[in-house]
């Protein structure tokens, strides 16, 4: 996460509460790529991602004094991003188009690189087909390393709801990926 630990983040947030713009810029840079990955998976709309990040960080700037420490700062920021993302998606009037992921490592053997790229694209397409809530649970778990409790706080739902969403997402992903594997053979 850009080299910041929770103590550094706490110090930055205290400085941000005091109006320190340099501390805010440091926190923004530390979270930008993590939020971009999360929001790209959520919205599948690259132009919208930076706008949502800016809206998210504006809330962090304006509401820094409301963070009470009852959860990790990262959980609080991701919860804001999740809500801002939902708000942005509701404002869209065009269907979301999945985007092709970038190719894998070119240094690999061509056959392995192609197989890895096909697998990555298959996983990405399968994730895109999941309902939003299931896709977010998978993304927060596997791409952002959050525990179910943190995800529950981020998505403002009970832990059991997170577990249920993950359970159903895994079943759907298993079915879709086994169908993808059969197509590739």
CB-CB contact of 35 with 81 (8 Å)? yes
Q: How far apart are CA 88 and CA 119, in angstroms?
A: 30
Distance between CA atoms of 33 and 4, rounded to whole angstroms?
Answer: 13
Contacts of 65 (CB under 8 A, 6+ apart): 17
Neighbours of 178 (CB within 10 A): 10
Q: What is the pLDDT of residue 25?
A: 95
Average pLDDT over residues 109-128: 74
> What pLDDT does 180 receive?
63
| Cβ pair 70, 37 in contact under 8 A | no
- For residue 149, the model assigns a pLDDT of 94
Q: What is the pLDDT of residue 62?
A: 95
pLDDT per residue over 143-171, tens digit each? 888 899 999 999 999 999 999 999 999 99
Record the tokens describing residue 19, joined without a space: 């109006």
Cα 140–chain centre separation: 6
**51-65, 129-143, 169-183: least confidently modelled range:** 169-183
Q: Is 118 exposed, middle or buried (0-12, 13-18, 19+ CB in 10 A)?
A: middle
pLDDT > 90 fraction of the chain, expressed in percent and rounded: 55
Question: pTM of the predicted model, to two decimals?
Answer: 0.69
Could you read off the pLDDT of 37-76 as tens digits, one per residue?
999 989 888 889 999 999 999 999 999 999 998 899 999 9
Distance between terminal CA atoms of the chain?
39
DSSP 24-89: HHHHHHHHHHHHHHHHHHHH--HHHHHHHHHHHHHHHHHHGGG--SSS-HHHHHHHHHHHHHHHHH
- DSSP helix, strand, coil percent of the chain (3-state; round to 5): 75, 0, 25
């Amino acid at each position: 996460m850009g080299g910041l630990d929770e103590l550094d983040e706490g110090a930055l947030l205290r400085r941000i509460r005091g109006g320190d713009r340099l501390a805010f810029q440091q926190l923004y840079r530390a979270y930008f790529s993590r939020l971009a990955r999360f929001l790209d998976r959520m919205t599948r709309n690259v132009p919208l991602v930076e706008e949502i990040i800016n809206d998210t960080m504006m809330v962090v700037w304006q509401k820094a004094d409301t963070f009470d420490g009852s959860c990790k700062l990262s959980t609080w920021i991701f919860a804001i991003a999740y809500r801002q993302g939902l708000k942005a998606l509701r404002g869209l009037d065009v269907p979301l188009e999945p985007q092709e992921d970038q190719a894998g490592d070119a240094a690999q053997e061509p056959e392995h690189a192609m197989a890895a790229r096909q697998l990555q694209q298959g996983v990405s397409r399968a994730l895109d087909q999941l309902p939003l809530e299931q896709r977010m649970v998978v993304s927060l778990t596997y791409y952002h390393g959050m525990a179910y409790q943190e995800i529950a706080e981020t998505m403002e739902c009970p832990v059991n709801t997170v577990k249920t969403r993950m359970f159903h997402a895994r079943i759907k992903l298993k079915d879709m990926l086994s169908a993808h594997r059969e197509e590739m053979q």
